[in-house]
């Protein structure tokens, strides 16, 4: 298929664009893939001005503005004149139990959620929905845990303190040095000896190498769909200690780490893994096995193939049903 897809979420794109289709990425300042484009053989950056001449099979929307952009650039209305779906990355907001999805109530553009939690909690008001769970490439780097340190990945932890749980970090840095990886990690790093360190915003390979040496991975997020960095840490074979919110109850199986809403239980879990490398390694093996089974790139891409086919077939069925006969049809 020829898929129109905006490069919005770098981590997600890195998995999605590895599929077998032809992916057209509109050149958009601030959202261009850069060197990453070379990793995606089927993807090409296109001048939006030439999209009108492309024979697009399906549009994958990720922002509501893209509905209008796609119509303007292709001359075809998503859902009505070209198959389309809306990929929803986020957990419902502002309220978890009653937020109406921006595409709620309509029937022509299915909403694809990235977790079952999101599908359950978003009010989509009868709009068709499905779930394509996350998948990440296997980092190919093995956990060693030789550093008695805690690793965490949070982008903009200062601005997203409550959402990301970065306000909880001092409770853990009291147990061992805590390294924060990600964009603007310096916002929560300290120079007063509290043990929180800015580990930088690293490219994936270096991030995985450094994370794999940390004894334990901390996932303090209160409100997120399901962090890709968490799944990567599981793929690395790291033991996980996580706030038991949103999708975490499904993502982290028994034996792979500690998930709790009690801060004291979480700190006890970190302390136990720090003190016992064998215990940490065993939990990490469970985490990796679960991630390989449930969040592999192969499973993710296969599920996307099914979903794209379903959307295109459903559109074709609607088009046949509502097609207006020509003036000569029915004349014998």
CATH of span 2-135+297-322: 3.40.50
Average pLDDT over every residue of 66-84: 97
Residue 325 has pLDDT above 50, yes or no: no
Q: How confident is residue 38, by pLDDT bands cut at 50, 70 and 90? A: confident
Q: Which residue spans of the chain are classified as CATH 3.40.50.2000?
A: 147-294
How much is the pLDDT for 331? 37
Whole-number pLDDT of residue 326:
42
Q: What is the pLDDT of residue 29?
A: 82
CA-based max dimension of the chain:
89
User: Among residues 201, 207, 230, 208, which one has the least CA distance to residue 142?
Assistant: 208
What does the alpha-carbon distance between residue 59 and residue 224 come to, in Å, rounded to a whole number?
Answer: 25
CATH topology of domain 147-294: Rossmann fold (3.40.50)
- State mean pLDDT over 284-303: 98
pLDDT of residue 43 exceeding 50, the answer is yes
> Mean pLDDT, to the nearest integer, of 8-16?
95
Please write the tens of the pLDDT for every residue from 166-205. 999 999 999 999 999 999 999 998 755 679 999 999 999 9
pLDDT > 80? residue 329: no
Q: What is the pLDDT of residues 133-147, one digit of tens each?
A: 999 999 989 999 999
The helix or strand, by DSSP H or E, that contains position 289, with its residue range, turns out to be: helix 277-294
**Could you tell me which residues come within 8 angstroms of residue 74 by beta carbon, excluding any fewer than 6 positions away?**
4, 51, 52, 54, 56, 59, 82
pLDDT number for residue 319? 84
Find residue 150's DSSP bridge partners.
Answer: 178, 216
Q: In the prediction, which pLDDT does 131 show?
A: 98
pLDDT at 321 over 80: no
Helices 204-211 + 228-236 axis angle, to 10: 60
At residue 31, does pLDDT exceed 70? yes
Q: What CA–CA distance (Å, rounded) separates 308 from 60?
A: 9
């Amino acid at each position: 298929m020829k898929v129109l897809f905006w490069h919005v979420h770098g981590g997600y794109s890195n998995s999605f664009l590895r599929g077998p289709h032809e992916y057209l990425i509109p050149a958009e300042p601030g959202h261009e893939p850069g060197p990453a484009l070379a990793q995606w053989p089927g993807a090409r950056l296109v001048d939006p001005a030439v999209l009108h001449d492309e024979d697009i099979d399906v549009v994958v929307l990720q922002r509501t503005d893209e509905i209008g952009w796609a119509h303007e650039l292709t001359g075809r209305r998503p859902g009505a004149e070209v198959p389309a779906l809306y990929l929803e990355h986020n957990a419902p907001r502002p309220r978890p139990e009653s937020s109406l999805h921006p595409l709620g109530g309509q029937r022509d553009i299915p909403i694809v959620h990235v977790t079952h939690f999101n599908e359950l909690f978003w009010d989509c008001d009868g709009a068709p929905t499905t779930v394509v769970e996350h998948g990440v490439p296997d980092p190919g780097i093995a956990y060693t845990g030789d550093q008695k340190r805690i690793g965490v990945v949070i982008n903009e932890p200062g601005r997203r303190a409550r959402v990301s749980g970065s306000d909880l970090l001092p409770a853990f840095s009291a147990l061992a040095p805590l390294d924060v990886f990600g964009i603007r990690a310096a916002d929560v790093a300290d120079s007063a000896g509290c043990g929180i360190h800015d580990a930088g915003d690293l490219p994936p390979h270096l991030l995985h190498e450094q994370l794999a040496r940390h004894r334990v991975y901390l996932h303090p997020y209160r409100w997120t769909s399901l962090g890709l960095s968490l799944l990567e840490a599981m793929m690395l074979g790291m033991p996980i200690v996580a706030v038991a919110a949103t999708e975490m109850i499904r993502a982290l199986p028994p034996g792979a780490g500690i998930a709790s809403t009690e801060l004291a239980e979480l700190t006890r879990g970190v302390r136990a893994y720090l003190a016992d490398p064998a215990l940490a390694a065993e939990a990490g093996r469970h985490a990796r096995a679960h991630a390989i089974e449930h969040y592999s790139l192969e499973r993710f891409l296969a599920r996307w193939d099914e979903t794209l086919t379903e959307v295109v077939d459903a559109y074709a069925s609607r088009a046949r049903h509502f097609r207006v006969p020509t003036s000569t049809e029915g004349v014998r």
